[in-house]
């Protein structure tokens, strides 16, 4: 998908977003950013989403006493079933999207969009990802699906025989592991252990073992992101998970804006040599607009393929595991 448009959907009056390899949505709280991202996920992955809901026993059939549309409620969460009104218009790459068509699915089994939700810290119980059924029935789909992906990753034996979850030599390159350690764990190791006949995740530091709730807030909030990296990059010999075309990160962190600012500065006058030449060659971004209510927000999308960590750019590729063969085209980030 290269373009998604939405009109009169929830609090969004009008949105027309052209996607690049990196697309940032910026705006005030409750302006429709999360709704738009989840809409993107639904339009792109409605087949796998409907199959997952059926597998876990959910029904999205419209009944006479149903409050709003059941599929929208299951996707966006409780109270959101009426966001797609009669006057709502949704288009993907210029083609109208019909809500009834989304219910039918598209025959695909695997989700192509890996969605990292803003509520990701709620997906962990004593540091371990919760299963899909442990959430309330009307919690947003993206939260339950994200947690279920990470739970399956853990069940397949993440950590090996020593049960160590960080650092793991076969996961991420050493330079990236070192930076995570310097910023988050400061020499501590993260492991699984059995406590009261149940597995839990702990930090081992200075000879002491600290349970999940005794960690710093930053350490607790980072663990879902670390598991996400493990899921997206399965091993040191595999640069990316097959089938994932898009990665969506819902966050309040300004770091992504700072990264874009840095790229723009380097494009202008701060870079030197081959790096500067590569930055100058980046394509200019398309300009997209979203108007939630009376507020007008500008969304920039830029083609940064030359800088993508999964292509041939050495300065960033050095952070990731080497691949035996040439990697597939990189996933796009929203």
At 98-138, the pLDDT tens digits run 998 998 877 788 899 999 999 898 999 888 899 999 999 99
**136-145, 167-176, 288-297, range with the lowest pLDDT:** 288-297
Q: Is the pLDDT of residue 325 over 50?
A: no
The pLDDT of residue 182: 94
Range(s) of the domain holding residue 108: 1-112+244-254+283-334
Average of per-residue pLDDT values in the chain? 80
Summarised one tens digit per residue, pLDDT across range 152-188 is: 988 887 766 678 999 988 888 888 899 999 999 999 9
**In this structure, are residues 209 and 217 in contact, taking their beta carbons and an 8 Å threshold?**
no
Q: List all residues 6 or more positions away from 84 whose beta carbon is below 8 Å from its beta carbon.
A: 9, 69, 72, 90, 99
Q: Is the pLDDT of residue 300 over 70?
A: no
What would the two tokens of residue 62 be? 């419209």
Mean predicted confidence (pLDDT) in 222-230:
92
Mean predicted confidence (pLDDT) in 305-326:
35
How many Cβ atoms sit within 10 Å of the Cβ of residue 200? 17
Please give the share of the chain, as a percent, with pLDDT higher than 90. 48
54 is a domain residue: yes
77 is a domain residue: yes
User: 169 or 272, which is more confident?
Assistant: 169
User: 285 or 206, which is more confident?
Assistant: 206
Q: Is the pLDDT of residue 3 over 90?
A: yes
The pLDDT of residue 173: 84
The pLDDT of residue 237: 65
The pLDDT of residue 239: 67
Q: Is the pLDDT of residue 317 over 50?
A: no
Q: Is the pLDDT of residue 288 over 60?
A: no
61 is a domain residue: yes
How many Cβ atoms sit within 10 Å of the Cβ of residue 215? 22
Mean predicted confidence (pLDDT) in 301-316:
33
Summarised one tens digit per residue, pLDDT across range 240-251 is: 788 899 999 988
11 is a domain residue: yes
CA distance 5 to 37: 12
The pLDDT of residue 303: 36
The pLDDT of residue 277: 62
How many Cβ atoms sit within 10 Å of the Cβ of residue 241? 16
The pLDDT of residue 308: 30
Count of domains observed in the chain: 1
Q: Is the pLDDT of residue 236 over 80?
A: no
Q: Is the pLDDT of residue 33 over 60?
A: yes
311 is a domain residue: yes
239 is a domain residue: no
State yes or no: cis peptide before 167, omega within 30 of 0: yes
Q: Is the pLDDT of residue 274 over 80?
A: no
**In this structure, are residues 22 and 301 in contact, taking their beta carbons and an 8 Å threshold?**
yes
327 is a domain residue: yes
SS3 string, the chain, reads: CCEEEEEEECCEEEEEEECCCEEECCCCCCCCHHHHHHHHHHHHHHHHHHHHHHHCCCCCCCCCCCCCCHHHHHHHCCCCCCCEEEEEEEEECCEECCHHHHHHCCCCCCCCEEEECCCHHHHEECCEECCHHHCCCCCCHHHHHHHHHHHHHHHCCCCCCCCEEECCCCCCCHHHHHHHHHHHHCCCEEEEEEECCEEEEEEEECCEEEEHHHCCHHHHHHHHHHHHHHHHCCECCECCCCCCCEEEECCCCCHHHHHHHHHHHHHHHHCCHHHHHHHHCCCCCEEEEEEECCCCEEEEEECCHHHCCCCCCHHHHCCCCCCCCCCCCCCEEC
195 is a domain residue: no
What is the torsional sign of CA 265, 183, 305, 332? negative
Q: Is the pLDDT of residue 50 over 70?
A: yes
Q: How far is CA 53 from CA 68, 73, 132, 138, 160, in A?
A: 17, 12, 10, 11, 31
Among 143, 130, 148, 122, which residue's Cα sits nearest to residue 55?
148
The pLDDT of residue 48: 95
- Confidence label for 228 from pLDDT (cuts 50, 70 and 90): very high
The pLDDT of residue 156: 82
The pLDDT of residue 194: 85
**In this structure, are residues 21 and 333 in contact, taking their beta carbons and an 8 Å threshold?**
yes
């Amino acid at each position: 998908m290269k373009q998604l448009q939405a009109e009169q959907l929830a609090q969004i009056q009008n949105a027309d977003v052209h996607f690049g390899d990196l697309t940032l949505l910026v705006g005030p709280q409750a302006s429709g950013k999360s709704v738009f991202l989840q809409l993107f996920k639904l339009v792109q992955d409605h087949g796998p989403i409907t199959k997952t809901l059926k597998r876990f026993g959910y029904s999205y059939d419209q009944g006479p006493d149903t409050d709003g549309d059941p599929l929208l409620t299951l996707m966006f969460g409780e109270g959101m079933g009426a966001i797609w009104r009669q006057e709502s218009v949704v288009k993907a790459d210029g083609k109208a999207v019909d809500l009834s068509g989304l219910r039918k699915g598209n025959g695909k089994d695997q989700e192509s969009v890996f969605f990292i939700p803003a509520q990701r810290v709620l997906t962990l119980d004593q540091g371990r990802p919760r299963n899909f059924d442990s959430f309330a029935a009307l919690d947003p789909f993206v939260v339950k699906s994200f947690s279920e992906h990470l739970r399956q990753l853990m069940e397949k034996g993440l950590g090996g025989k020593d049960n160590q979850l960080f650092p793991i030599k076969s996961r991420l390159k050493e330079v990236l592991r070192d930076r995570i350690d310097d910023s988050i764990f400061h020499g501590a190791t993260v492991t699984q252990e059995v406590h009261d006949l149940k597995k839990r995740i702990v930090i081992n530091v200075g000879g002491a073992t600290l349970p999940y709730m005794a960690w710093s807030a930053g350490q607790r909030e980072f663990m879902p992101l670390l598991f996400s990296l493990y899921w997206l990059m399965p091993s040191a010999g595999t640069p990316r998970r097959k089938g994932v075309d898009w990665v969506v990160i819902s966050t309040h962190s300004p770091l992504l804006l700072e990264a874009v600012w840095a790229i723009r500065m380097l494009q202008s006058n701060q870079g030197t040599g081959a790096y500067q030449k590569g930055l100058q060659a980046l394509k200019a971004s398309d300009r997209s607009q979203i108007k939630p209510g009376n507020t007008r927000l500008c969304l920039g999308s830029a083609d940064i393929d030359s800088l993508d960590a999964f292509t041939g750019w050495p300065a960033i590729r050095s952070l990731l595991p080497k691949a035996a063969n040439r990697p597939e085209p990189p996933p796009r980030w929203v």
